Amino acid sequence: MKSLIRPVLITLVLGFALLFVIPRFVANADSLTSVYFYLSRMQANINGSSATVEYLIAFAPTQTIPTAGTVSIVFPDADDGNWCRTQGALTITAVSSSIVDLTGTNWDIDAVLPNSGSALTATCTAGSGASSSDTITVSNVGALTGGTTYGLQLANGTAAGVIGTDDTAGSHPTTVTSSSGATIDSSTFDLELVSNDIVTVSATVTDVPTVNCSISSNTVDIGSLFPGGAYSTATHTISTSTSASSSGYYWAAYGTGDGSTDAGLYKSTATTYLLASTGSATISLTGIGTEGFGMTVSDPDTAGAAVVPADFSDASAGTFGSLDRASAGAQLILYQNGAQTSADVSTITYGAKASGSAEAGSYSEEVHFICGAYY
């Protein structure tokens, strides 16, 4: 019986001894209170050279993290060598705000990521094979207060480290950890990449459609008319040019005459008399005993797109287009449907004739011209 009892006693003694000799490791682990990871480019396969990307991370620990800690960013194991394109030191900037801050929430950066007395450093290490991931480690982190949101920004290093994005669009589970010794706060979330993050916006600026219209002279004198004599004429020109984006132009005209009945050359002093323009169609001043007033318009481009309405054509000598009175009687005298290749210049010819019954004196007519464009 003694031989059986002795080994048992030895075993029990050794067991109690182990309990008192082996130290106990206690880890204080928690999740981050909040975190966001802002990518300056969310496109897959940013290689860090021909196209670059920057990372901005904001996080709030849940518990106080002692000084001399680290912040690590671990990318998916399947993405080896894509987030860390070239291993080495990165450029790190502690930031106090970002464009995606949500004011008044835990996703609003409160303070720059502090250092522990030595400058913050960031190193990119590429994963290789299973259980080895692209990792960025930020060192020399100062003490962090629970519930305070800190910000840092990472970019390519000046000498070696180059960061990018994975070559596959979709979700990429990423872990951010803030730790110092046994105190650890950590959260895992998805980074979403798309195949193309650029929208190309195009527009065409065209010139403002314009028309330039001019009248060569604002006064013309037909000269002396003799009662029962031949008709007389006087001329000036009208000119038109439009921009390439215009689709044509028009000219219209009307007279004032005696102010109540017809357009035409009017003697307003006693005894009043009107060399009338009948208001429509044409008026011929070639026959014996005829009288009146009218005008013609020359075709500025002959075989081109400009058109003179038949009533105002200058094709028949002594026949003139008859003007109507006031704006309501305006008539189209020249137009073009289509873009101009060059400026158009047209001659306006006024014709007048006095019959034997016409009163001697001074006569006048005010012909109003209107020009515009088709846009």
Q: What CATH number has the domain bearing residue 101?
A: 2.60.40
Quote the domain boundaries for residue 59.
Answer: 26-193
Mean pLDDT, residues 98-109: 98
Mean pLDDT, residues 224-230: 96
Regarding whether 61 and 127 lie in a shared domain, the answer is: yes
C-alpha closest to that of 112 among 149, 147, 71, 145:
149
Residue 303 pLDDT = 79
Regarding whether 347 and 277 lie in a shared domain, the answer is: yes
Residue 16 belongs to a domain: no
Read off the tokens for 264. Answer: 């035409």
Regarding whether 183 and 221 lie in a shared domain, the answer is: no
C-alpha span between 313 and 318 (Å, rounded):
11
Count of domains forming the chain = 2
In 105-256, at which residue ranges do the beta strands (DSSP E only) sit?
Answer: 111-112, 121-125, 135-141, 150-155, 162-163, 170-180, 183-193, 211-215, 232-242, 248-254
C-alpha span between 191 and 172 (Å, rounded):
5
Q: Is the per-residue pLDDT at 13 higher than 60?
A: no
Q: Specify the DSSP element, H or E, that contains 13.
A: helix 2-21
Read off the tokens for 56. Answer: 């901005």
Segment 248-299, tens digit of pLDDT:
999 999 999 999 999 999 999 999 999 999 877 999 999 999 999 999 999 9
C-alpha span between 37 and 57 (Å, rounded):
5
C-alpha closest to that of 367 among 273, 280, 255:
255
Residue 114 belongs to a domain: yes
Regarding whether 218 and 93 lie in a shared domain, the answer is: no
Residue 14 belongs to a domain: no
Long-range contacts of 255-261 (CB under 8 A, 24+ apart): 255/323, 255/324, 255/325, 255/329, 255/365, 255/366, 255/367, 255/368, 256/325, 256/326, 256/365, 256/366, 256/368, 257/325, 257/365, 259/325, 261/325
When pLDDT is cut at 50, 70 and 90, the band that residue 27 belongs to is low
Regarding whether 110 and 139 lie in a shared domain, the answer is: yes
Regarding whether 186 and 219 lie in a shared domain, the answer is: no
Regarding whether 226 and 128 lie in a shared domain, the answer is: no
Residue 13 belongs to a domain: no
Domain-ending residue, one of 133, 166, 193: 193
C-alpha span between 264 and 153 (Å, rounded):
85
When pLDDT is cut at 50, 70 and 90, the band that residue 50 belongs to is very high
Q: Is the per-residue pLDDT at 3 higher than 80?
A: no
Residue 42 belongs to a domain: yes
One-letter amino acid identity for 134?
D
Residue 18 belongs to a domain: no
Regarding whether 240 and 136 lie in a shared domain, the answer is: no
Cis status, amide bond into 296, omega within 30 of 0: no
Neighbours of 194 (CB within 10 A): 12
Domain-ending residue, one of 193, 224, 255: 193
C-alpha span between 273 and 295 (Å, rounded):
19
Find the range with the poorest average confidence among 97-111, 160-174, 268-282.
268-282
One-letter amino acid identity for 179?
S
Mean pLDDT, residues 297-307: 91
8 A C-beta contact, residue 232 and residue 353: yes
C-alpha closest to that of 358 among 262, 256, 229, 221:
229
Mean pLDDT, residues 91-104: 98
Residue 254 pLDDT = 98
Residue 24 pLDDT = 38
Regarding whether 298 and 344 lie in a shared domain, the answer is: yes
Regarding whether 274 and 127 lie in a shared domain, the answer is: no
C-alpha span between 211 and 372 (Å, rounded):
7
Domain-ending residue, one of 166, 193, 220: 193
Regarding whether 148 and 31 lie in a shared domain, the answer is: yes
Residue 198 belongs to a domain: no
Residue 58 belongs to a domain: yes
Regarding whether 366 and 280 lie in a shared domain, the answer is: yes
Mean pLDDT, residues 42-65: 98
Q: What is Dmax (Cα atoms) for the chain?
A: 169
Read off the tokens for 320. Answer: 């003139």
For residue 55, what is the DSSP state? E
Half-sphere exposure in the Cβ direction for 114 (13 Å, CA):
16
* pTM summary value: 0.65
More confident residue, 47 or 302: 47
